[in-house]
Amino acid sequence: MLIKIPDGAVWVILGAQWGDEGKGKIVDLLSEDADIVVRYQGGANAGHTVSFDGKTYVLHLLPSGIFHPNVVCVIGNGVVLDPIALIEEIEMVKSAGVDVSGRLFISHRAHLIMPYHKLLDKLYEQGDDKIGTTGKGIGPSYVDKYARVGIRVVDLLDRDVFCKKLRKNIELKNEIIEKIYGETKFDVEKIIDEYIEFDKKIDEYVTDTAVYLNRAIKDGKKILLEGAQGALLDIDHGTYPYVTSSSPTAGGASTGSGIPPTKINGVIGVIKAYTTRVGEGPFPTELKDELGDHIREKGHEYGATTGRPRRCGWLDIVSLNYTIMINGIEKLALTKLDVLDELDEIKICVAYELKGKKLKNFPTDSETLSKVEPVYESFKGWKTKTSDLKSYSDLPSEAREYIEAIEKLTGVKVSIISVGADRNQTILR
Ligand code: 2SA
Ligand code: GDP
Ligand code: MG
């Protein structure tokens, strides 16, 4: 199934909910006609699933275009790179017959995840105020980036620079580390050796990816910018503090890749036919009942990185209209329609009420969001298997009504409909 991408297109593909919308599937699908796919934020917290030819792969750092031999994959400067996870992943795709040589580029400017980041992540997650992170060291690594003490891929080029920065970091963190372990846990020399070894393994991929991408734009290449997590987990625009520490939104695609905003000419939002969230934080349409359990089991809603059960609920148009606004989403890809196949009734949240009054905007604080009452519109279920259907007109009329209601409520066209995890289980409009 080929989705044609115009020459010179630079499109952002991002999650318009709380992540796991099926970005991996959609990016893989679009990659068939793309030249370059770029990851622009997050790290190995992401789990992007790609399924084809009866096989399923979960990617954490490599862009979801990696299974298309003609696509160049770029890990941009906005990503926080876990060396161990990256090397494991390169090995994983190699054993699946994928050659990454000459078609994987990693930014010099990407920050590294260090062993103490993972430890601090776990430490901050103790107690009642936890965020429900993936424990992959993401937050602490971005803290160091913004505190201007982070270690970047470029620092590995000079052993002396790397050692100096690492020693300073360990010194800064020792106090906390000693509090947990009663002694300094980290062997600085061992970390240095491990990371220098890592540098040797990735050296062939490291380059100035901003220069590479801007040259590619001049050459009219077709570029996809792949967001991780989702817009409602954005550090600025998400349900703070229950967010990730990066910018999954369209703005982050520019800062996280070095592609200027003026060169981005399309934004596609990926949404599920319902909503999921993993980790803590408000979720107005959450179903804490058997229906929620049914959706979790039917949709295999378990974390692709941690295996944690995902919280499930109805589609929420209020939050969706907010993420459409923040990102300038012009097209929607709707996934997992098949998961709703067995339901008698399907609901969409069309408004929030607080103390009996309708809210005009998506609340700015999590406290308020946790108190809103969703107002639902009800739709008749189609009670028909959709996972083998190939065209829009094949879909049962109730399913089409559901999709068209989403379009009406958002003012955005649903251009791609996914009815199964496989590449081919897709309906185009
Ligand atoms: P972190 O680890 O600091 O980024 O966690 C902060 C919040 O961001 C959420 N988050 C995610 N939400 C959905 N999917 C993610 N990737 C994995 C997946 C998650 C998994 O694909 O299933 O396996 O558990 C992801 N990564 C981060 C996280 O749950 C916190 O709410
Ligand atoms: P991502 O993080 O947005 O890439 O999404 P994940 O890979 O974390 O989670 C999406 C899950 O749904 C994966 O297991 C996919 O294989 C699966 N999936 C994607 N699209 C569909 C679909 O249309 N139907 C079904 N049943 N599963 C899908
Ligand atoms: Mg995921």
- Specify the pTM: 0.97
Residue 187 has pLDDT above 90, yes or no: no
Binding site membership for substrate: which residues? 304-310
Confidence of residue 143 (pLDDT cuts 50, 70, 90): very high
CA of 25 to the centre of ligand 2 (A): 7
Please identify, by atom number, the ligand 2 atom nearest to the C-alpha of residue 49: 7
Bridge partners of 73, per DSSP, are 37, 104
Q: Of 127-131, 328-332, 371-375, which range is least confident?
A: 127-131
The domains spanning 10-105+208-428 and 111-205 adopt the same CATH topology = no
Under the banding of pLDDT at 50, 70 and 90, the label for residue 186 is confident
Compute the average pLDDT of residues 60-83: 98
pLDDT at 424 over 70: yes
Query: How far is it, in rounded angstroms, from Cα 87 to Cα 81?
Result: 10
Q: Which CATH number fits domain 10-105+208-428: 3.90.170.10, 3.40.710.10, 3.10.20.30, 3.30.750.24?
A: 3.90.170.10
| 145 a catalytic residue | yes
Tell me which residue has its CA closest to atom 21 in ligand 2: 421
Q: Give the mean pLDDT of 337-341.
A: 98
The pLDDT value recorded for residue 184 is 66
Region 188-214: what's the mean pLDDT? 94
Return the best residue to mutate from 49, 276, 342, 424 for the ligand 2 pocket (most ligand atoms within 8 A of CB).
49
Active-site hit among 60, 117, 145, 222: 145
Flag whether pLDDT at 62 surpasses 70: yes
Q: Whose CA is nearest to atom 11 of ligand 2?
A: 22
Q: What are phi and psi of 150, to 5 degrees?
A: -65, 155
* Confidence check: pLDDT of 175 > 90: no
**pLDDT the model gives residue 332:** 98
Percent residues over pLDDT 90 in the chain: 92
> DSSP class of residue 300?
T
The mean pLDDT of 6-30, rounded to a whole number, is 98
Is any ligand 2 atom within 6 A of the Cβ of residue 418?
yes
In the predicted model, is pLDDT for residue 109 greater than 90? Answer: yes
Is 28 an annotated catalytic residue?
no
Which pLDDT band holds residue 188 (cuts at 50, 70, 90)? confident
* CA separation for the pair 27, 34 (Å, rounded): 10
In tens, the pLDDT along 227-271 reads 999 999 999 999 999 999 999 999 999 999 999 999 999 999 999
Name the CA dihedral angle for 208, 48, 58, 197, rounded to a multiple of 10 degrees.
Answer: 30
Q: What is the pLDDT of residues 295-307, one digit of tens each?
A: 999 999 999 999 9
Q: Calculate how far, in angstroms, residue 231's C-alpha sits from the geometric centre of ligand 3.
A: 13
Taking only the tens place, the pLDDT of each residue in 363-410 is: 999 999 999 999 999 999 999 999 999 999 999 999 999 999 999 999
What is the distance between the alpha carbons of residues 4 and 34, in angstroms, rounded to a whole number?
9
pLDDT at 166 over 90: yes
CA distances from 384 to 293, 314, 370, 381, 416 (A): 20, 19, 35, 9, 20
C-alpha 224/C-alpha 321 separation (Å) is 23
Ligand 3 centroid to 47 CA: how many Å? 4
- Position 402 scores a pLDDT of 98
CA nearest ligand 1 atom 27, residue? 45
| Average pLDDT score over residue span 113-123 | 93
Count CB neighbours of 391 within 10 A: 10
pLDDT of residue 171: 86
**For position 10, what pLDDT does the model report?**
98
Of residues 172 and 410, the one with the higher pLDDT is 410
What integer pLDDT is reported at residue 183 of this predicted model? 67
Q: Map out the domains of the chain as residue ranges.
A: 10-105+208-428, 111-205
State the average pLDDT for the chain: 96
Percent pLDDT > 70 in the chain is 99
Residue 333, ligand 2, Cβ within 6 A: no
**Structural contact between residues 335 and 230, judged by C-beta atoms closer than 8 angstroms:** no
The CATH T-level fold of domain 111-205 is Adenylosuccinate Synthetase, subunit A; domain 2 (1.10.300)
CB–CB of 18/233 below 8 Å? yes
| Annotated catalytic residue 48 | yes
